[in-house]
Amino acid sequence: MPNMNIRHYFPFRRVKILNQVIETKENRVMINMVPNNRFTPVCHVCGKPSRHVHAHETRQVRDLPMAAFSVWLVCQYRKLLCNTCSKITTEDLGVFNPYQRVTVRMAIYIHELCKMLTVKEVAEHLNLDWKTVKNIDKAFLMEQYAQTDYRNLRILAVDEIAIRKGHKYMTVVLDYETGRVVWMGKDRSSDTLKEFFKGMSEEQKQNLDAIAMDMWNPFIRAVRESVPHVKIVFDFFHVVSAFNKVIDKVRISEFNNAAKEDQEVFKGSKYLLLKNRPNLKTDEKAHLKKLQDINKNIFTMMLLKENLKRIWKYQKRGWADNAIDIWCTLAHQIEHPEVERFIGRLERYRYGILNHCEYPIHTSRLEGVNNKIKVIKRKAYGYHDKLYFTLKVKQAFDTTNDSN
């Protein structure tokens, strides 16, 4: 390696290599270079040439590794009095960016690695400080994703994701048609979602047709105040999930009121009642039938659960509206406060269920997105920098990025 000509590995036209120093024990190569005087120095800010040299400086920057050797460039450069910028600036040699301790190509390499590995893994691989790796990756992501891209949005899905214990949430907005994560904001309040809509032009707001979400009043209020023409569609999954909780409350009440011999049948039925019928095993089906045979209210609750799911299958509003009326009439037969509360909730949010006939959308696609976001978070053992976390999520769901 000491006799190898390495000049063609450094195709930087504005610098001239003076020599190389091989530090075998440290597995390190030091390349000394100076500005090439054949070129007039140019300002790194405006790119204009300037012959007014203010001072000479030297910087040591990390370059791409060469085999098992780390490579450092000891590069002289000039501080310029730039007439265009009217200030002192750094000469652009095409090797490194001002204030960075790595070369431009090394920074690109780090950014590409961060698409596949965690910051910690990249730092260990290159023997760099993890903060250096994170800041380099973040700088690239800021260029690409700092500004929210509101173009071509027609149908959205909105949900929240827990980012840590203690009810700490972020709101996620998804382009339903492409699967792109458009925006993420702190908390899950009405103001959070309003902040998203504030960035849209009036024309972009008018292009929106529908938005899928769960029955969360702060989100509903934000949509009604910001884009009142948009059709709100309530997600089937969240409504059935809410009804499952009602089923469990009824189960507990029925267990407490049952005869001792019947209570034995109730035992082990909690998750049995929450399962979808096609997922039940043979012995579970027999257990469920026995429970339904001895308790009319449990039988009715299971019938209500199946009929509730069917409401989302109707394609005409009139049919869906009639199905909700029939469902509520049947549900009133069970005298239980939780059932009555759910009936009232279904009545209040009927419009969002009926809108599903016109826009058959749901947030299950966003649930898949949330699962992937959780994997991103878990791989990095959580993100203390929420902006960086948001940028990483946007990158992971960038539908224009072939590497994802």
Q: pLDDT tens for residues 370-392?
A: 788 888 887 765 567 889 999 99
- The count of other CB atoms within 10 Å of the CB of residue 328 is 16
pLDDT number for residue 380: 66
Closest CA to 303 of 329, 281, 264: 329
Residues 6+ apart with CB under 8 A from 225: 190, 194
pLDDT in tens, 175-194: 999 999 999 999 999 999 99
Question: Per DSSP, what are the bridge partners of residue 170?
Answer: 161, 187
Q: 324 is written with which tokens?
A: 């909700």
Question: What CA–CA distance (Å, rounded) separates 269 from 81?
Answer: 80
| H/E element, 204 | helix 202-206
Question: What CA–CA distance (Å, rounded) separates 116 from 110?
Answer: 10
Ordered by start, the domain boundaries in the chain are 1-101, 104-146, 155-235+362-396, 236-358
Question: What CA–CA distance (Å, rounded) separates 271 from 215?
Answer: 24
**How many residues belong to the chain?**
404
Q: What is the 3-state secondary structure (H, E, C) of 26-40?
A: CCEEEEEEEECCCCC
pLDDT in tens, 31-76: 999 999 999 999 999 999 998 999 999 999 999 998 889 999 999 9
**Distance between the two ends of the chain, CA-based, in angstroms?**
38
Residues 6+ apart with CB under 8 A from 295: 254, 258, 262
Rounded to the nearest 5 degrees, what angle is found at the Cα of 357, between the Cα atoms of 352 and 358? 90
* Start-end of H helices in 127-167: 130-145
Closest CA to 57 of 94, 83, 16, 89: 89
Q: 380 is written with which tokens?
A: 């990095």
The Cα diameter of the chain in Å comes to 99
* Start-end of H helices in 227-363: 236-257, 260-266, 270-274, 282-294, 296-311, 317-331, 337-348, 350-358
Tokens 């700088």 sit on residue: 139
Residue type, 364: S
* pLDDT confidence band for 169 (50 / 70 / 90): confident
Mean pLDDT, to the nearest integer, of 317-321?
95
pLDDT in tens, 259-291: 888 888 888 888 888 888 788 888 888 888 888
**Fold type of domain 155-235+362-396:** Nucleotidyltransferase; domain 5 (3.30.420)
pLDDT number for residue 190: 95
